C-alpha cells in the first residue's frame, strides 16, 4: 500500500483535503445527533398506549333539548351500541389515551395536605371498561355494576374503589406495585379510595407528560352534558361500524348532536404529528447532508483526477496497473475521510453533551458514532469510485504528451 | 532485444485517419544506444510509445526480449513496463508533491519490493546520479538538470533492460543537457540499452546508432558518423 507517500503528498497539498475532511466532520456530528433525536422521537412514538388501538373508535354525544334525559340516554345508548353485531363492548368515558385532553388528579398514600401526592390521569369507566379498552388486569378484580355510580358536574366526592396502572402503583409504592393492592390511597388530600385492582398498562391522554403511564380508573358515569362513547369492535369491523353507530345514535334521539367520530389510530397519528414531522425533517436533513458530502468528495476527487492526469499517465508508464491507480485514489479518499470522521466523532460527542445539558436529550447510544463513522467511510469510498475509475482509465501514453 | 516487424499504428477520429507508423520494422540489440530522429509528426513519439508499451498498435509483431508483447493484457503490459523498461521524459514527469526519495520509489512500490530493498536501490541510484544528498527535496526545489537526474534515477531504480528517453534534454540548457547526456552515455556503457528520441543532431551523434524516421517508417538506419546533418536537423 502507498499510504506513506499518499499521506505525505496530501500534507503538501492540503487545502482541498482539509475542506472535505471538515465537511465530513460536520456532517458526521450533525448526522449522529439528528439520528439520536430521530431514535428518541421514534421510541416515544412506538410506546404502546395499552389499549386495543386498531379496533377502537370514539364519538361524542351532546344533548341540548329541554326533554333530553342524559342519564337515560347514556344507558340506552350503551345498551344499543353493545347489542350491535360486531361490537365487542362500549363504555362512556371522559377521554382516551393520547387525545390531548383529560382529567388529572393527585394521589397519595397518606392523608393530609402535607403529604406528597403524585399526579395521575383519570378515566371514568364502568364494569365494561377493561374489556372496552382491552386492558390487562394483572392483580385484583374488575369493577362490578354495583360499584358504578353517577357523577354530577359539581361533584367533589370520589368512589371508594379505584384501579391503578402498574406504573402508578409503583410510583405510590416503590417497593413493589403489588403493595398497592388492597391498600388505601387518598385523593383530594383526605378522601380515601381502596385499590381493588392493578392493570398492566395504559397511557394518559398527554403523550408529552413524563408520568404518561400513571393512570387511575374510577367506576363512574358522568353527567356533564357532553358525553363520550368508546367503542371496541371485532377486528376488521371498525370502519363499517363507525357510520352505522353514528346513524343509529342520531336516530335514537333528536335532542343531541353526534360528532367527533375518531379512531384511536387517528388519535395516535394526531398526537405524534409534531414528532413525526420532526423525524421527517431530520431524515431529509441527514439525507441531504450525506448527499452534499458525497458530492463534495466526488467534486474534489474529479478535480484531483483532472489536475493529475499527466501524473496518472506517468504512474501508468512506470508500471501502475489500473487497479493500482484505482486503489491510489480510494486510499487517498480513505485517509481524508478518516481524518474527517475522527474529528467528526469528537464534534458529535461534544455537540451531544451540550444538547443533553441544554435540551435534556438522551445521551448518544454507544454504537451511533462508530456506525456513523463506518457509514460515512463507505459513502466516501462509493463517492470516489467514479472519479477513481476515470483516473484508472487514463492511458499511459499521456505521460509522453507535451501538453 | 527489441524487434518490430511491420508494425502499423493508425490514429482515428470521426473524419480522419492518420497513419503514424506504416510497416515499421526495426531491430535493436542489447547494449545499443540508439538515437531516433525525424521531423515533427514523423512518428518518433508513436514509435517510442509502442516500444514502451504505452500504446497498442493495429498490426505487425513486436518482440521484447524474445517475447511477443503484441497482445498482452493491460495488466501484463504494466508489469513489463515496470520490470523491463525505464522511461525518461522530456518534462521529467516527476510527481510534484513527492520528494526525491518518494519519486524514485514510485516504480519500486509497483514492483512490490520490500521497504529495505527499495531503500537500498533508491540510495544506490541517487548516488549514481549525484543526488544522494537531496532525498528530501521536492522537485520544485531542484534545477531542471537535477530534476532530470531524479527522473533518470527513477528509471534506473528497477534495473530495467532498456531505457526509453523522450527528448531527455529538451527542457534543459546546454550545460545541463551535456551533463545528462554524459550520464546516459555512462549508463549505456554499463550495459543498459537506450533508445532516445531527439531533435538535436549533436545529441544523436553521441549515440552508437542513429535511426531516422520519416512518414512512419525507418528512412535511414546508420551509425552516428554517417547521419547527414540536414536530415537530423529537420
Record: fold of B30-55+74-233: Rossmann fold (3.40.50)
As a whole number of angstroms, the distance between CA B149 and CA B168 comes to 10
Residue A267 in any domain: the answer is no
The string of DSSP letters for A185-207 reads EEETTTEEEEEEEEES----S-T
Residue B164 phi, psi (nearest 5): -115, 120
Please give, rounded to a whole number of angstroms, the shortest distance from the CA of B95 to a CA of chain A: 6
Please give, rounded to a whole number of angstroms, the shortest distance from the CA of A336 to a CA of chain B: 16
Among A319, A322, A396, select the one facing B107 at the smallest CB separation.
A319
Domain boundary among A219, A254, A289: A254
Residues A219-241 have pLDDT tens digits of 999 998 889 999 999 999 999 99
Residue A357 in any domain: the answer is yes
Residue A57 in any domain: the answer is no
Residue A199 in any domain: the answer is yes
Among A8, A310, A318, select the one facing B87 at the smallest CB separation.
A318
Q: Are residues A123 and A246 in the same domain?
A: yes
Q: Are residues A336 and A393 in the same domain?
A: yes
Q: Are residues A42 and A72 in the same domain?
A: no
Q: Are residues A10 and A148 in the same domain?
A: no
- B219's enclosing H/E stretch is strand B217-222
Angle formed at CA B217 by CA B214 and CA B218, multiple of 5 degrees: 85
Q: Are residues A362 and A278 in the same domain?
A: yes
Domain boundary among A254, A289, A316: A254
Residues B69-100 have pLDDT tens digits of 988 999 999 999 999 999 999 889 999 999 99
Q: Are residues A375 and A243 in the same domain?
A: no
Residue B183 phi, psi (nearest 5): -65, -45
Residue A137 in any domain: the answer is yes
As a whole number of angstroms, the distance between CA B146 and CA B141 comes to 9
Q: Which residues of A touch B98 (CB under 8 A)?
A: 5, 8-9
Residues A164-192 have pLDDT tens digits of 999 999 999 999 999 999 999 999 889 99
Q: Are residues A284 and A366 in the same domain?
A: yes
Residue B227 in this model has a pLDDT that exceeds 80: no
Residue A260 in any domain: the answer is no
Residue A79 in this model has a pLDDT that exceeds 50: yes
Distances from the Cα of A8 to the Cα of A4, A343, B137, B146, angstroms = 6, 20, 13, 21
Q: Are residues A72 and A198 in the same domain?
A: yes
Residue A322 in any domain: the answer is yes
Q: Are residues A25 and A99 in the same domain?
A: no
Which residue in chain A has the smallest CA separation from B113? A1
Percent above pLDDT 90 for chain A: 84
Please give, rounded to a whole number of angstroms, the shortest distance from the CA of A309 to a CA of chain B: 11
Retrieve residue A232's grid coordinates: 371496541
Retrieve residue A164's grid coordinates: 391503578
For residue B31, the model assigns a pLDDT of 92
For residue A1, the model assigns a pLDDT of 64
Look up the domain containing A226 and give its range: 65-254
Q: Are residues A227 and A92 in the same domain?
A: yes
- Identify the sign of the CA torsion A121, A122, A128, A132: negative
Among A4, A320, A396, select the one facing B110 at the smallest CB separation.
A320
Laid out side by side, the sheet with B85-88 consists of B85-88, B162-166, B193-197, B33-37, B209-214, B217-222
For residue A400, the model assigns a pLDDT of 85
A132-141, B9-18, B138-147: least confident range: B9-18
Q: Are residues A246 and A123 in the same domain?
A: yes
Residue B230 in this model has a pLDDT that exceeds 70: no
Residue B231 in this model has a pLDDT that exceeds 80: no
For residue B169, the model assigns a pLDDT of 86
Residue A196 in any domain: the answer is yes
Number of domains in chain A: 2
Q: Are residues A120 and A247 in the same domain?
A: yes
Amino acid at each position: 500500500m502507498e499510504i506513506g507517500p499518499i499521506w505525505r503528498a496530501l500534507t503538501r497539498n492540503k487545502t482541498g483535503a482539509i475542506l472535505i475532511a471538515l465537511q465530513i466532520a460536520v456532517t458526521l456530528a450533525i448526522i449522529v445527533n439528528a439520528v439520536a433525536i430521530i431514535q428518541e422521537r421514534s421510541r416515544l412514538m412506538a410506546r404502546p398506549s395499552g389499549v386495543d388501538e386498531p379496533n377502537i373508535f370514539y364519538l361524542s354525544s351532546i344533548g341540548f333539548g329541554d326533554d333530553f334525559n342524559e342519564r337515560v340516554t347514556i344507558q340506552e345508548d350503551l345498551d344499543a351500541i353493545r347489542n350491535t353485531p360486531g361490537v365487542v363492548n362500549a363504555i362512556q368515558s371522559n377521554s382516551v389515551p393520547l387525545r390531548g385532553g383529560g382529567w388529572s388528579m393527585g394521589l397519595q398514600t397518606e392523608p393530609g395536605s402535607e403529604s406528597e401526592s403524585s399526579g395521575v390521569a383519570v378515566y371514568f369507566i364502568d364494569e365494561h371498561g377493561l374489556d372496552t379498552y382491552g386492558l390487562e388486569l394483572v392483580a385484583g378484580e374488575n369493577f362490578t355494576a354495583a360499584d358504578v355510580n353517577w357523577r354530577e358536574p359539581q361533584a367533589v366526592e370520589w368512589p371508594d374503589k379505584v384501579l391503578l396502572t402498574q406504573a402508578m402503583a409503583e410510583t405510590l409504592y416503590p417497593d413493589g406495585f403489588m403493595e398497592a393492592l388492597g391498600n388505601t390511597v387518598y385523593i383530594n388530600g383526605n378522601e380515601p379510595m381502596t385499590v381493588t385492582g392493578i392493570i398492566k398498562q395504559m397511557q394518559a391522554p398527554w403523550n408529552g407528560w413524563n408520568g404518561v403511564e400513571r393512570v387511575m380508573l374510577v367506576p363512574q358515569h358522568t353527567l356533564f352534558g357532553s358525553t363520550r362513547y368508546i367503542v371496541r369492535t371485532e377486528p376488521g369491523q371498525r370502519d363499517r361500524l363507525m357510520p352505522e353507530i353514528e346513524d343509529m345514535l342520531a336516530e335514537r334521539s333528536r335532542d343531541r348532536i353526534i360528532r367527533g367520530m375518531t379512531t384511536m389510530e387517528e388519535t395516535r397519528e394526531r398526537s405524534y404529528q409534531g414528532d413525526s414531522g420532526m423525524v421527517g425533517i431530520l431524515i431529509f436533513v441527514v439525507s441531504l447532508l450525506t448527499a452534499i458530502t458525497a458530492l463534495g468528495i466526488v467534486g474534489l476527487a474529479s478535480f484531483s483526477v483532472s489536475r493529475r492526469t499527466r501524473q496518472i499517465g506517468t504512474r501508468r508508464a512506470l508500471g501502475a496497473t489500473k487497479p493500482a491507480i484505482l486503489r491510489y485514489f480510494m486510499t487517498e479518499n480513505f485517509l481524508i475521510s478518516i481524518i474527517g470522521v475522527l474529528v467528526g466523532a469528537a464534534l458529535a460527542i461534544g455537540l451531544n453533551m451540550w444538547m443533553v445539558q441544554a435540551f435534556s436529550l438522551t445521551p448518544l447510544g454507544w454504537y451511533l458514532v462508530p456506525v456513523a463513522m463506518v457509514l460515512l467511510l463507505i459513502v466516501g469510498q462509493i463517492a470516489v469510485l467514479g472519479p477513481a475509475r476515470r483516473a484508472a482509465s487514463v492511458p499511459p501514453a499521456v505521460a509522453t504528451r507535451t501538453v | 532485444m527489441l524487434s518490430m516487424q511491420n508494425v502499423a499504428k493508425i490514429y482515428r477520429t470521426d473524419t480522419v485517419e492518420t497513419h503514424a507508423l506504416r510497416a515499421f520494422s526495426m531491430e535493436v540489440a542489447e547494449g545499443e544506444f540508439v538515437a531516433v530522429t525525424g521531423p515533427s509528426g514523423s512518428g518518433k513519439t508513436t514509435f517510442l510509445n509502442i516500444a514502451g508499451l504505452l500504446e497498442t498498435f493495429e498490426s505487425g509483431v513486436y518482440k521484447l526480449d524474445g517475447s511477443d508483447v503484441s497482445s498482452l493484457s493491460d495488466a501484463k503490459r504494466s508489469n513489463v513496463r515496470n520490470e523491463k523498461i525505464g522511461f525518461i521524459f522530456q518534462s521529467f514527469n516527476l510527481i510534484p508533491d513527492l520528494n526525491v526519495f518518494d519519486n524514485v520509489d514510485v516504480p519500486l512500490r509497483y514492483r512490490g519490493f520490500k521497504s529495505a530493498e527499495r531503500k537500498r536501490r533508491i540510495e544506490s541510484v541517487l548516488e549514481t546520479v549525484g543526488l544522494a544528498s537531496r532525498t528530501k527535496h521536492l522537485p520544485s526545489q531542484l534545477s531542471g538538470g537535477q530534476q532530470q537526474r531524479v527522473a533518470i534515477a527513477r528509471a534506473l531504480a528497477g534495473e530495467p533492460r532498456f531505457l526509453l528517453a523522450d527528448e531527455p534534454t529538451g527542457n534543459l540548457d546546454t550545460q545541463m543537457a551535456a551533463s545528462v547526456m554524459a550520464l546516459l552515455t555512462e549508463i549505456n556503457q554499463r550495459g543498459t540499452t537506450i533508445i532516445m528520441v531527439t531533435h538535436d543532431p549533436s545529441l544523436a551523434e553521441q549515440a552508437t546508432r542513429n535511426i531516422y524516421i520519416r512518414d512512419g517508417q525507418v528512412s535511414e538506419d546508420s551509425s552516428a558518423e554517417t547521419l547527414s546533418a540536414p536530415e537530423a536537423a529537420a
